[in-house]
Amino acid sequence: MKGERALQLYGGALKQLFTEARTHNSWRQETLSPADFRAIYDLSKWGPTTANTNPARFLFVHTAEGKERLKPFVFPGNVDKVMSAPCTVIIAWDMAFHEKMPQLFPSRDMSATFAGKDALIAEVGFRSSTLQGAYFMMAARALGFDCGPMSGFDLEGVDRELLAERGWKSNFLCNIGHGTPEGLFPRNPRLDYEQACVEL
């Protein structure tokens, strides 16, 4: 109920989202549907962004034709991962995201805050789309999918071939589907609290 403290997640939920979730490199051969894509997006869209700008855009590359268009721009070490995944999502951001501010911030039209300010558009677009990409992965995991995020690709090439007509710029790629144990490396350590955190 609104105003009450949210229930804390325990056990299996935390394992699925964080402690046992892995970056997958090989995939079960299956077909994901537009309904799957919509379910992930519709959950992820509720995460916060700067002034509710929602600059992220998602291109779901799941057809053979789409994969062939993407393939030349993927670095060699990532080609097999992309081509074998049921879907590779290009997490991008819209350079004209501010044009939707009347819809996204109806209490005050903030379009003029961004219009003509390329540096601010780039800063907010990249930061908030990165956040939205992370929300997207958490939503996918929450719905039972595995993820394989990566940055090993030619951003300019992807933008030119797949995104330019929409006015989008790529941020990173994320394979989605149901991963298999093959290709999983031993899990690398993370920094301890004492190494990464300071209290003031």
Write the DSSP symbol of residue 105.
S
Task: For residue 27, give the DSSP letter.
Answer: B
Q: What is the CA radius of gyration of the chain?
A: 18
Cα 149 to chain center, whole Å? Answer: 8
Closest to 180 measured CA to CA, from 141, 146, 136: 146
User: What DSSP assignment string belongs to 71-100?
Assistant: GGGB-HHHHHHHHHSSEEEEEEEETTGGGG
pTM of the model as a whole: 0.95
Q: Which two tokens stand for residue 194?
A: 């004492």
Task: Note the pLDDT of residue 41.
Answer: 98
User: pLDDT truncated to tens, each residue of the chain (200 aa)?
Assistant: 566 777 899 989 999 999 999 999 999 999 999 999 999 999 999 999 999 999 999 999 999 999 999 999 999 999 999 999 999 999 999 999 999 999 999 998 889 999 999 999 999 999 999 999 999 999 999 999 999 999 999 999 999 999 999 999 999 999 999 999 998 989 999 999 999 999 99
